[in-house]
Structure 1
Amino acid sequence: MPSQRATLTPRIMGRLRLASQGLLGGGFATVADAVRWMTCMQAQDLGSALWAVGQRVPGTAASDVRAALDAGTVVRSWPMRGTLHLLAPEDLRWILGITGERLMKSVAARHRELGITSGDISQCRDIAFKTTEALKAGGAPGASREQLFQAFEDAGQTTKAQRGIHLLGSLCQRAWLVQGPMAGSNGKVGVQQLFVPFDEWIPDSRDLDREEGIAELLFRYVRSHGPATIRDFAWWSQVPLTEARAALHAVKDRLVELEFGSSSYWLSPETAAMLDDAVPGSRPMLALPGFDEFLLGYQDRGLVLAPEHAELVVPGKNGVFKRIMVSGGEVVGTWARTVNGKSVGVAPEPFAGELGPAAERSFQAQGRAYLKFMAA
Structure 2
Amino acid sequence: MKIPAIRLLNQQLLKPLFSTPKEVVSWMGAMQAQDAGMVKWAVGIRTKAGTLPMVEQALQRGEILRTHVMRPTWHLVAAEDIRWMLKLSAPHVKAANDSYAKGRDLEITEELYKRSHNLLEKILCGGKSLTKQEITDQFLQAGIQVDVHRMNRFVARAELEGIVCSGEAKGSKHTYALLEERVPPVPELTKDEALARLGRNYFRSHTPATLQDFIWWSGLSTTEARQAIYLLGASLTAETWNGQTWYLHEDSRTSMKTAASSLHLLPSYDEYLLGYKDRTDVLPKEHYPKAFTNNGLFFPIILSNGEVTGNWSKPAKKGGKHLTHSFFRSETLAEDALLNRGKEAYLQFISSL
**TM-score surpassing 0.5?**
yes
Q: Does 1:30 find its partner at 2:5?
A: no
Aligned to 2:244: 263
2:159 alignment partner, SS class: helix
**What is the distance in 1 between the residues matched to 2:319 and 2:6?**
40
Give 1:218 deviation, angstroms.
0.7
Which residue matches 2:208? 227
1:158-190 per-residue CA deviation (whole Å, 9 max, x = no partner) reads: 321411111111101110111121112xxxxx1
Spell out, residue by residue over 1:122-159, the C-alpha distance to the aligned partner (whole angstroms, 9 max, x if none): 111111122123xx4xxx74222111111112223232
| 8 Å Cα contact 1:179/1:193 also seen in 2 | yes
Aligned residue number for residue 126 of structure 1: 118
Matched, 1:21 2:7: no
What is the Cα deviation at residue 281 of structure 1?
5.4
1:96-134 deviations in Å (ceiling 9; x for gaps)? 11100111112222222211121111111111122123x
1:283 maps to what in 2? 261
Aligned to 2:36: 46
Two-structure CA RMSD over aligned residues (Å): 1.9
Deviations 1:196-252 (A, max 9, x none): 111110122341111221111111100011100111111111111112112211213
Determine the C-alpha separation between the residues in 2 that align with 1:159 and 1:130: 18
The yes-or-no answer on 1:337 pairing with 2:327 is: no
Q: Which amino acid aligns with 2:30?
A: C
Alignment map for 1:44-193 (pairs within 5 Å): 44-112=34-102, 113-133=105-125, 136=126, 141-184=128-171, 190=172, 192-193=173-174
Contact 2:192 2:231 in 1 (8 A): no
What amino acid does structure 1 have at the position aligned with 2:163? W
In 2, Cα distance between equivalents of 1:351 and 1:212 = 43
* Contact 2:323 2:343 (C-alpha < 8 Å) held by counterparts: yes
CA distance in 1, matches of 2:317, 2:161: 45
| Contact 2:32-2:270 at 8 Å conserved across structures | yes
Task: Please give the alpha-carbon distance, in whole angstroms, between the structure 2 residues aligned to 1:281 and 1:102.
Answer: 42
Equivalent pairs, count? 350
Partner of 1:4 in structure 2? none
Correspondent of 1:216 among 188, 197, 201: 197
The verdict on how the C-alpha distance between 1:342 and 1:282 changes in structure 2, with shifts beyond 3 A counting, is: closer
Q: Distance in 1 between matches of 2:162 and 2:239?
A: 38
Structure 2 residue aligned with 1:299: 277
Q: 3-state DSSP class of the match of 2:326?
A: strand
SS at match of 2:310: strand
**In structure 2, distance between residues paired with 1:267 and 1:183:** 41
Q: Offset of 1:354 from its aligned partner?
A: 5.7
Change (3 A) 1:104 1:73: same
CA contact (8 A) 2:9 2:253 kept: no
Q: Quick one: which amino acid aligns to residue 304 of structure 1?
A: V
User: Is the Cα–Cα contact under 8 Å of residues 42 and 84 in structure 1 kept in the other structure?
Assistant: yes
Q: CA deviation at 1:300?
A: 1.1
- Maintained 8 Å contact 1:159/1:165: no
SS at structure 1 position matched to 2:169: strand
- CA distance in 2 between counterparts of 1:336 and 1:156 reads 44
Structure 1 residues 18 and 219, CA, compared in 2 at 3 Å: closer, same or farther?
same
TM-score (norm 2): 0.94
The 3-state SS of whatever aligns with 1:271 is: coil
Check whether the contact 1:309–1:351 (CA below 8 A) recurs between aligned residues: yes
Moved more, 37-46 or 334-343: 334-343
Return 5+ residue gaps in structure 2 as ranges: none
- TM-score by length of structure 1 reads 0.88
CA contact 1:229–1:265 (8 Å) conserved in 2? yes
Q: Compared with structure 1, are the counterparts of its residues 200 and 105 closer, same or farther at alpha carbon in structure 2 (3 Å cutoff)?
A: same
Paired residue secondary structure (1:344) = coil
**Structure 1 unaligned regions, length at least 5:** 1-7, 185-189
- Residue type at the aligned position of 1:337: K
What is residue 238 of structure 1 aligned with on the other side? 219
Partner Cα distance (1:339, 1:129) in 2: 40
Paired residue type of 2:159: C
